[in-house]
Structure 1
Amino acid sequence: MTYNHLTISELSFIQNFWNQGIKAYKAAKALKYSAETIYRVYRFLDAGNSITEYYETYKANKAKAGRKPIILPDDELEYVKEKVALGWTPDTIIGRNERSISCSMRTLYRIFKRSKDLDVTSLPMKGKRHPNGYVERRGKAGRLGRAITERYKDYPNYNDEFSHLEADTIQGKKHKGAVMTLVERSTKATIILNTHHKTDKAIFEKLDALLSATPKHLFKSITFDNGKEFSKRRDIANKHDINTYFADVGAPNQRALNEHTNGLLRKDGLGKDMDLSDLSTDYVQQVASHRNNIPRKSLGYKTPLEVFMQYITDEHLSLF
């Protein structure tokens, strides 16, 4: 329900009606307010007060109205800080429900924005997103291989089944160094390959080593963007019997999960200001482990690692 509050101009009109001795109900009809509203002002004036005093009293009362801001108890605030330090979001903290928090998810987001103890810029994306209708305009050399339209013909249940990867690279500052990222679509499990360089040779060697170390057919397909570093995809496809596809040129939304994950990995420790050419493999694995152990709303607040392991059978384990 909404209410029309009297303005100082309307209060002046009411005072004029009062000065002229016009009945309150007639003033109410003229101003299209309820009679009780006008009677209230009339009674205030009858008591010897001015219209300015009425307005100041009204503003003071209005300032006290409304719901008081929720303040989290110290123990809950410390718990939230601890989980945010691990990469959790307010949505994950409330949804995972490992312990009770005395506010809703939306309220917790608002607390981040106004609290001095919580840093909203520590959250993924820092609140910055492309506007609706954003179109990627960065140029590409053209699609390098089979289109994703063929992917849906080969795998009619693609959107619901396990074992399909999306792949991309993350570059370091001033194009120094790179890593390759792969995300399994149904579990959101992330693999980071420490390629050091963004070349087709470096990409092939690391991807070949990964697929050679995993059970055959554990992964059925990989969808790449159109970077030239993926030009050896035929060698990978033939050697490991895995289908490869490419998103349309200038359409990163067709690999949205991988693009979003790369943004999170930037926050997790692969920042744009880093030189990635000399990273240790241990460090890269720590970044991947950190991301894989953060609960996700789309996974029912389970972690990607928990969901991924549900698909690994004893037969798979025996082949590692």
Structure 2
Amino acid sequence: MLVPHRLDRADEAASVRGRRPKQAKLVQRPALCALVEAKPALCWSPDRIAGWLRRRLPGDTAMQISHEAIYPSLCDPRRRQVIDRSLTQRRRSARPLRRPKIARRPTRRGIIRGMVSITARPAEVEDRKVPGHWEGDLVMGTKPSAVATLVERASHCTTIVALPDGIKAEQVTPLLTGSLLGIPPHQPRTLTWDRGREIAEHQAITTGTRMPIYLCKPRSPWQRGTNENTNRLLRQYLPKGADLRTFSQADLDAVAHELNHRPRKTHGYRTPAEIYADLLNSSDALTA
């Protein structure tokens, strides 16, 4: 049983700890603040910054901070300015405040002839241990502008394909085929796509690339979740209100390069480019 005077000291200590407002950790540590502030300019999220610090400076508690401690300094206008709040424009959502996500309404899709369902896809695709399995879809701008995105499931390495002529199947097929043919010969294995009409000539793509294409179930974007997540990241560069026909292939290659060189939490804060290079090297070793 605690004696009364010890209880008084404990209450007093708790009261001191609970006093508000508290000085932000980034105010107390200018060196950490400078390091954190440099990363949003590269389109890094608070979670990505916190993970990178843990990997880059392990054991240095003075240079560690949680993503939840970064968000208030960056996004809360009631806080005293610690980080330049104009950097919120470099966030994926470009919003100055954090807001809950809104579920998208499902869209109607037409029937595609000769399609192969995702249920027929090889079992090896699921565990992400075998490289060369890709997911793809369109990212829409102002209608009818769009680009096609291809994401490798194991590394999350991304390719963006310009579609300057439109999004009909006959316009998408040759450009998508050309992009898939640019993948190293021993890499392409499968492609998983949504049931959009742009993929109606999937059999011609398979003939040209020898890559079987599997289509998701209706209203099931989660079945190509790697691509869905990547497309959300791309909205930071390709906003919904933009005419995506104004982006050249060189512009899109630069966006993909930047995205592929951003560390990912799922890879222990390594980059997709690093993971993809390792996969290519291991595949080369197996085929040698």
- TM-score normalised by the chain length of structure 1: 0.70
| Separation (CA, whole Å) in 2 of partners of 1:265 and 1:280 | 15
Aligned partners of 1:136 and 1:250 also within 8 Å: no
User: What's the secondary structure of 2:270's corresponding residue?
Assistant: coil
2:36 maps to 1:80 = yes
Aligned partners of 2:92 and 2:233 also within 8 Å: yes
User: What's the secondary structure of 1:166's corresponding residue?
Assistant: strand
**What is the match of residue 181 of structure 2?**
212
Q: CA 1:241–1:113 in 2, change beyond 3 Å: closer, same or farther? A: same
User: What's the secondary structure of 1:96's corresponding residue?
Assistant: helix
**What is the match of residue 198 of structure 2?**
229
| Separation (CA, whole Å) in 1 of partners of 2:213 and 2:186 | 13
User: What's the secondary structure of 2:160's corresponding residue?
Assistant: strand
1:87 aligned partner, one-letter code: C
Aligned partners of 2:151 and 2:227 also within 8 Å: yes
**RMSD of aligned Cα (Å):** 2.9
For 1:273, which of 229, 233, 241 is the aligned residue? Answer: 241
2:70 maps to 1:70 = no
Greater alpha carbon shift after TM alignment, 295-304 vs 90-99: 90-99
2:43 maps to 1:106 = no
2:136 maps to 1:167 = yes
Identity %: 26
- State the Cα distance separating 1:148 from its structure 2 match: 1.1
- State the Cα distance separating 1:135 from its structure 2 match: 7.1
- State the Cα distance separating 1:143 from its structure 2 match: 5.8
**What is the match of residue 313 of structure 1?**
281
**What is the match of residue 282 of structure 1?**
250
Q: CA 1:201–1:188 in 2, change beyond 3 Å: closer, same or farther? A: same
- State the Cα distance separating 1:94 from its structure 2 match: 1.8
- State the Cα distance separating 1:271 from its structure 2 match: 1.1
- State the Cα distance separating 1:277 from its structure 2 match: 1.6
| Separation (CA, whole Å) in 2 of partners of 1:263 and 1:296 | 14
User: What's the secondary structure of 1:124's corresponding residue?
Assistant: coil
Unaligned runs of 5+ in 2: 9-14
Runs of 4+ in 1 over 6 A off after TM superposition: 61-64
**What CA deviation, in whole Å up to 9, does each residue of 1:5-53 have, x standing for no partner?**
xxxxxxxxxxxxxxxxxxxxxxxxxxxxxxx9xxx9xxxxxxxxxxxxx
**What is the match of residue 179 of structure 1?**
147
2:164 maps to 1:202 = no
Aligned partners of 2:152 and 2:158 also within 8 Å: yes
Matches within 5 A, 1:229-248: 229-248=198-217
**What is the match of residue 149 of structure 1?**
119
Q: CA 1:138–1:118 in 2, change beyond 3 Å: closer, same or farther? A: farther
- State the Cα distance separating 1:83 from its structure 2 match: 0.9
Matches within 5 A, 1:90-105: 90-97=46-53, 98-99=56-57, 101-105=63-67
- State the Cα distance separating 1:147 from its structure 2 match: 1.3
Size of the aligned set, in residue pairs, is 254
**What CA deviation, in whole Å up to 9, does each residue of 1:69-88 have, x standing for no partner?**
42413333232222111111
| Separation (CA, whole Å) in 2 of partners of 1:262 and 1:113 | 23
2:238 aligned partner, one-letter code: L
Aligned partners of 1:170 and 1:178 also within 8 Å: yes
Aligned partners of 1:183 and 1:189 also within 8 Å: yes
**What CA deviation, in whole Å up to 9, does each residue of 1:255-303 have, x standing for no partner?**
1221121111111x21112111232221111111111111000011001
Q: CA 1:199–1:139 in 2, change beyond 3 Å: closer, same or farther? A: same
- State the Cα distance separating 1:314 from its structure 2 match: 8.5
Unaligned runs of 5+ in 1: 1-35, 41-60
Greater alpha carbon shift after TM alignment, 232-241 vs 300-309: 232-241
- State the Cα distance separating 1:158 from its structure 2 match: 2.8
- Find the structure with the greater CA-based Rg: 1
- TM-score normalised by the chain length of structure 2: 0.77
1:298 aligned partner, one-letter code: T
| Separation (CA, whole Å) in 2 of partners of 1:171 and 1:296 | 24
